[in-house]
Amino acid sequence: MTLSVIYILWLRQIKRYFRSKARIVGSLGQPLLFLLAFGFGFGPIFQKAGQGNYIQFLTPGIIAMSILFTAVFSGIEIIWDRQFGFLKETLVAPVSRLEIMLGRTLGGATVATLQGVIVFVLSLFVGFHIYSLIALPFAFIFMFFMALLFTALGTAIASVLKDMQGFQLIMNFLIMPIFFLSGALFPLDGLPKVIEVIVRCNPLSYGIDALRAALSGVAHFGLLNDSIFLFVGVVVLLFAGSFLFSKIEA
What pLDDT sits at residue 11?
72
* Mean pLDDT of the region 111-127: 90
> Which carries the bigger pLDDT value, residue 27 or residue 58?
58
Q: Which residues are CB-neighbours of 94 under 8 A, at least 6 positions away?
A: none
Please, what is the average pLDDT of the chain?
Answer: 82
> Which carries the bigger pLDDT value, residue 52 or residue 31?
31
pLDDT digits (tens, 9 = 90+) for 238-249: 888 888 877 776
Q: What are the C-alpha distances in Å from 54 to residues 12, 57, 88?
A: 38, 5, 48
What pLDDT sits at residue 1?
47
How much is the pTM?
0.89
Judge contact between 204 and 112, C-beta under 8 A.
Answer: no
pLDDT digits (tens, 9 = 90+) for 123-141: 988 888 888 888 899 999 9
| Domain map (residue ranges) of the chain | 2-246
Tell which residue, 156, 173, 187, has the closest CA to residue 54: 187
